[in-house]
């Protein structure tokens, strides 16, 4: 989004801050970084079709200002240092997620029925923006993958039907993934919480070949997905975060029941199935990491001070 909105503080009660963000969202958040939660979104920038028409020019392709000062120098440093970089803009590339961030989750779900042309227009605007950026970014930077953020599932399945996914999203995904592959990038990664099982075959059809975080509590099973899709699907996550709260035996059981098999099969990146719980102890997390290192034949990380 260029230009972005002016950030404005609305209220501060000592524990919570209510503020307008640079993306035009009115949100309520904890004031202290010691308290963790998702922000509460109170208001979104697009309430009417007229709001979207006014906002749309801020996503215009071809805006040189999207590339920061010193872009060439940064790319040269990245190439010299040799890190792996992934193409990701703010909450993007994404299609469902992009609509949700502009009009809110509840209205998004109604809009697929009540305002389909608005949904098409917002998704198409995002698609054109991404397609305009990819060639230069891939040419300049040592890019190894493209990252989609969607968060379009809940614990029992997708928030929209597979038929709607096919109608609104699949053709646009294909345009982006085909462009990325034509430019030499073939790792296409989607981040979505919830149960992904109904959408995985559609993501594969659209050219997306890497799914994460595969939340265990939502019914995702990386071992079964590997057996079903083979190496067409790259997997990440699927180590139950809740095990970190249950002690060493539970942690070891969770890791050993999945990681040795999946690593032997290939195309798997072991990690917690989303963020580490804030009430997990450092000792539990260290044990989790060292169990993974043991499988990989690496030396354990010593406990600080030992």
Q: Is residue 195 part of a domain?
A: yes
* 56 and 174 within one domain: yes
pLDDT band at 35 (very low <50, low <70, confident <90, very high): confident
The rounded percent of the chain whose pLDDT value lies above 90 is: 83
Give the up-direction half-sphere exposure of residue 297: CA atoms within 13 A in the CB hemisphere: 1
pLDDT of 249 > 90? The answer is: yes
Residue-range definition of the domain harbouring residue 190: 48-295
As a whole number of angstroms, the distance between CA 234 and CA 267 comes to 5
pLDDT of 106 > 70? The answer is: yes
The residues pairing with 9 across neighbouring beta strands, listed in sequence order, are 19
* 190 and 102 within one domain: yes
* 243 and 186 within one domain: yes
* 81 and 13 within one domain: no
As a whole number of angstroms, the distance between CA 215 and CA 181 comes to 28
Continuous segment of H or E residues that includes residue 131: helix 116-140
Q: Report whether 39 contacts 105 (CB < 8 A).
A: no
Each residue's pLDDT tens digit, 272-284: 998 899 899 999 9
Count: domains in the chain: 2
* 3-state SS, residue 299: coil
Each residue's pLDDT tens digit, 117-151: 999 999 999 999 999 999 999 999 888 899 999 99
* 226 and 109 within one domain: yes
Hey, what are 77's tokens?
Answer: 């440093």
Is pTM beyond 0.85? Reply is yes
Hey, what are 122's tokens?
Answer: 């917002």
CA dihedral 215, 216, 217, 218 (to 10 degrees): 60
* 137 and 75 within one domain: yes
* 105 and 24 within one domain: no
- Output the CA torsion sign for 292, 295, 297, 303: positive
The residues pairing with 151 across neighbouring beta strands, listed in sequence order, are none
């Amino acid at each position: 989004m260029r230009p972005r909105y002016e950030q404005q503080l609305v209220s501060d009660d000592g524990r919570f801050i209510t503020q307008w963000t640079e993306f035009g969202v009115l949100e309520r958040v904890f004031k202290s970084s010691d308290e963790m939660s998702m922000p509460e979104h109170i208001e979104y920038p697009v309430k009417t079709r007229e709001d979207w028409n006014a906002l749309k020019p801020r996503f215009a392709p071809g805006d040189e200002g999207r590339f920061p000062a010193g872009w060439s120098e940064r790319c040269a440093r990245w190439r010299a240092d040799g890190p792996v970089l992934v193409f990701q803009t703010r909450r993007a590339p994404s299609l469902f997620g992009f609509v949700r961030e502009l009009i809110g989750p509840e209205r998004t779900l109604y809009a697929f029925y009540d305002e389909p042309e608005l949904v098409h227009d917002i998704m198409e605007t995002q698609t054109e923006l991404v397609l305009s950026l990819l060639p230069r970014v891939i040419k300049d930077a040592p890019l190894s993958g493209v990252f989609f953020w969607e968060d379009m599932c809940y614990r029992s399945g997708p928030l929209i039907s597979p038929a709607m996914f096919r109608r609104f999203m699949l053709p646009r995904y294909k345009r982006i993934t085909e462009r990325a592959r034509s430019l030499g990038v073939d790792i296409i990664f989607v981040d979505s919480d919830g149960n992904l099982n109904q959408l995985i075959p559609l993501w594969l059809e659209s050219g997306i070949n890497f799914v994460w975080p595969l939340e265990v509590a939502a019914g995702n099973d990386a071992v079964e997905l590997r057996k079903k899709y083979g190496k067409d699907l790259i997997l990440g996550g699927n180590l139950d975060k809740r095990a970190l709260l249950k002690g060493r035996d539970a942690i070891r059981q969770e890791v050993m029941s999945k990681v040795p098999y999946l690593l032997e099969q290939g195309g798997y990146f072991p990690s917690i199935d989303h963020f580490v719980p804030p009430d997990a102890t450092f000792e539990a997390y260290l044990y989790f990491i060292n169990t993974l290192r043991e499988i990989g034949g690496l030396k354990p990380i010593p406990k600080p001070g030992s």
